[in-house]
A and B are shown apart, each in its own frame.
Chain A
């Protein structure tokens, strides 16, 4: 039999739900906690009052947990105010480009493998280190000089030291500089591998080498020139800029060249619940 409430809403008797009953006890309990806390800063009498409020609220809250006390039946809202079923879209889904597997395609369609970025970054790192060490030898300051200056990005021991200290071998500095150089070389190489295929190339086959070997080192050398005093004050005071910039270009050209010359592979797309490698033309024709 329909209740008056159900008749008013147009609900059937089944269209009701059990929901948690509204209650003030959580607010009262929180007020008790707040009073206890406030009493510490004001007067213990306030804390005592808070403790009493807390106890009463806790008892009230626990009473809500007795069977049948904590829930109320809520009727569904009238039919006219309910959510309508989600309509099938009449709009066509645009495909980004002909021949690609649907709108879920990942761009770019072809990328350099991660391994090319890793190897390119490390090879570039070797080239960069070679230039830096060559500077150390030709300048007469020794090979530890550029290494110690690099470690000053993290280590603070050289801040107050003179040039002679920077020329000496120091194991911690060697470890820190080596770790820094390896990690940064590797990450920038990976970045190259991901970024280079997305940059415009036009008709030039050597465009990635220009992007990676000339434009990128030019940009970050400029940034480093501007910020070196903040990033690495020791290096800022003692760096030989022509050599420093040469080492950046050595890294960029070698890493960029290596990455650009490795063969690109099609990205793995998903279609029809299975992985599809490459564009539709390249993929299994049954897909």
Chain B
């Protein structure tokens, strides 16, 4: 065993600043869960910018009928890259970043169970994204030259077969998402092992913060959902390069098999992205309502129920394929059923707000934004679970509106709440409140102006993924509203990035516990030392800091 590396050895001298190369070396070789978490978040933000630019190009193209800003081929690449980027390289890394940074702190341990595996997971995710975008430079599309994948984010067969996807651009989609998916699996294994085996003394599984509960179920979902996708991707590669016919209908294969395998991953993936959001909201709402979370046990049980049911609803993405009435009915009923545990959560968050002393700081604003937007997304989800409705609006802009209300209005609003809530812990500085509020309102208004009208354009019959449309169908005004909303949201994100950069260098000092919160991460310094806690804390209740702040009325007497 040797002494600590240079960066740690110089902790005693705050004026010492290692050269840039040494600092970069420290980041590249780190196995510290907090630094890996931050790298995940930075990676996510970088890809968010790229995916956001792609989205804006899509919106500008649809501003008016018969627009020629981008070609049809470019448009196909844009929506494919936008969807793939946002799901695999924005939301997933952001979730992994939050979990990496927070879970060990919340359960009172010094690092994750497998620190090197953790680093491997991050680098696989990052390199997966690099492979995907390498396609712009080396992927040969139908017309040769650099070409990004253009088959949509779910890459349906037979569009991905060599006959329809000439060149290598589809391979980049397969390989990029597959490599990052393997990274996701390592992340999940690590997280489960950490939560199960490394909790602070006295902390029972029934006492971990709800964010940790949600991440535990989330990690299991990743373990169940990603391997089938990886297997399907290997099969697709064999179809494309080794002459196999798994998805080649004309040679005895089945194109629908790809849909089953993809959505067996794809629908749990929706909850993989939603559960961490639920966890963040379950931390933010009680702290800013100054109340105990309502129904801790029912929240944890509802999470497990969502995890279980979400594995059995995948074919509701396939109602228009032409399955039997019986299958339609079963998957429709299961999809309705998932509204019950989700409703329990909405009810519990609302009950936590009820009678609380609300503090409408930026994290809470985003949490309230999440509650309302996710509710709308959930309600249109119930509508889509009805087969006849799905038949009418499937693959229309109504569907686009629905899943953006779930994934953006849901997951991303919650992730923003978490970002504002835990930024002080990670950096030692507060994010600016005024810019934060401006960011929220621009995002909230922009989001609704962008995605609200899509419900209407969808019901009016506008299909998703069309690169242009004919005039006189009543679609222009809704598309123009959507584009204006996109611009407003873009300005909101500029406020966000400006706020982050300003606060990193000039933000108000945060102290250890700026929100007067109750979970263990607030018991250590901001940012925490490399080992998290000098002494691993002993835990007796779900709110260990409450117990310390209120020894006259500790929680452990009531649990």
Contact = CB atoms under 8 A, between A and B. Distances in A.
Interface of A: 5, 8-9, 15, 17-27, 29-31, 33-34, 37-38, 40-42, 61, 64, 68, 71-78, 81-89, 93-94, 96, 102-104, 106-107, 152-157, 159, 172, 176, 179, 183, 187, 194, 198, 227, 230-234, 270-273
A150 to B, nearest CB: 12
B4 interface: yes
A272 B290 CA distance: 20
Contact of A86 (B183, B534, B545): B545
Given A19-B110, A93-B550, 16 more contacts: A19-B111, A21-B31, A22-B30, A23-B116, A34-B127, A61-B116, A72-B8, A75-B4, A77-B529, A86-B523, A96-B355, A154-B329, A187-B340, A231-B383, A233-B388, A273-B557
Contacts of B31: 20-23, 26
A24 B551 contact: no
A41 B392 contact: no
Contacts of A76: 529, 531, 534
Interface string B293-313: 010000000000000000000
Interface stretch (B168-176, B414-422, B466-474): B168-176
A38 B172 CA distance: 8
A25 B11 contact: no
B321 to A, nearest CB: 12
B255 interface: no
A285 to B, nearest CB: 19
Interface residues of B, number: 91
B529 A31 contact: no
Contacts of A157: 325
Nearest to B356: A96
A33 B186 CA distance: 14
Interface string B190-229: 0000000000000000000000000000000000000000
Contacts of A231: 383, 386, 388-389
B558 A29 contact: no
Contacts of B124: 30, 33-34
Contact of B175 (A29, A38, A103, A233): A38
B355 A41 contact: no
Contacts of B531: 17, 19, 74, 76
Nearest to A236: B388
19 contacts: A19-B110, A21-B5, A27-B28, A27-B119, A30-B123, A30-B124, A31-B127, A61-B116, A72-B5, A73-B4, A75-B8, A75-B11, A93-B550, A107-B351, A154-B332, A156-B325, A198-B354, A230-B393, A230-B459
A93 B534 CA distance: 30
Contacts of A152: 388
B120 interface: yes
B392 A271 contact: no
Contacts of B74: none
A8 B548 CA distance: 31
B4 A273 contact: no
B121 to A, nearest CB: 8
B24 to A, nearest CB: 11
A72 B1 contact: yes
Given A26-B117, A27-B119, A103 B291 contact: yes
B64 interface: no
B134 interface: yes
B549 A88 contact: yes
Contacts of B545: 86
Nearest to B26: A22
Interface string B221-247: 000000000000000010001000000
A203 B28 CA distance: 68
Contacts of B389: 230-232
7 closest pairs, A vs B, by CB? A30-B123, A34-B127, A26-B119, A41-B171, A26-B120, A86-B548, A22-B29
Contacts of A234: 388
B306 to A, nearest CB: 17
Given A20-B31, A29-B120, A230-B392, A37 B178 contact: yes
B189 interface: no
A89 B135 CA distance: 57
B254 interface: no
A160 B13 CA distance: 79
B397 to A, nearest CB: 14
Contacts of B138: 41-42
Contacts of B557: 272-273
Contacts of B182: 33
A270 to B, nearest CB: 5
Most B-side CB within 10 Å, residue of A21, A154, A187: A154
Contacts of B392: 230, 233
A274 B354 CA distance: 24
B116 A153 contact: no
A34 B553 CA distance: 55
Contacts of A86: 513, 523, 545, 548-549
Interface in B317-346: 325, 328-329, 332-333, 336, 340
Contacts of A42: 138, 168
A176 to B, nearest CB: 6
Contacts of A83: 512, 523-525, 533-534
Contacts of B516: 89
B391 interface: yes
A66 B26 CA distance: 22
A74 B8 contact: yes
B115 interface: yes
B116 A40 contact: no
Nearest to B135: A41
A15 B550 contact: no
Contact of A156 (B4, B241, B391, B530): B391
Contact of B553 (A68, A93, A155): A93
Contact of A5 (B12, B117, B178, B558): B12
A64 to B, nearest CB: 7
B133 to A, nearest CB: 12
Contacts of B523: 83, 86
B401 to A, nearest CB: 13
Contacts of B13: 8
Nearest to A232: B388
B179 interface: yes
Contacts of A96: 355
Nearest to A96: B355
B9 interface: yes
A270 B294 CA distance: 12
Nearest to B531: A17
Contacts of A31: 123, 127
A107 B354 contact: yes
A157 B333 CA distance: 17
B387 interface: yes
A19 B403 CA distance: 43
B1 A9 contact: no
A8 B329 CA distance: 71
Nearest to B176: A37
A72 B123 contact: no
B21 interface: no
Nearest to A28: B123
Contacts of B131: 34, 37-38, 41
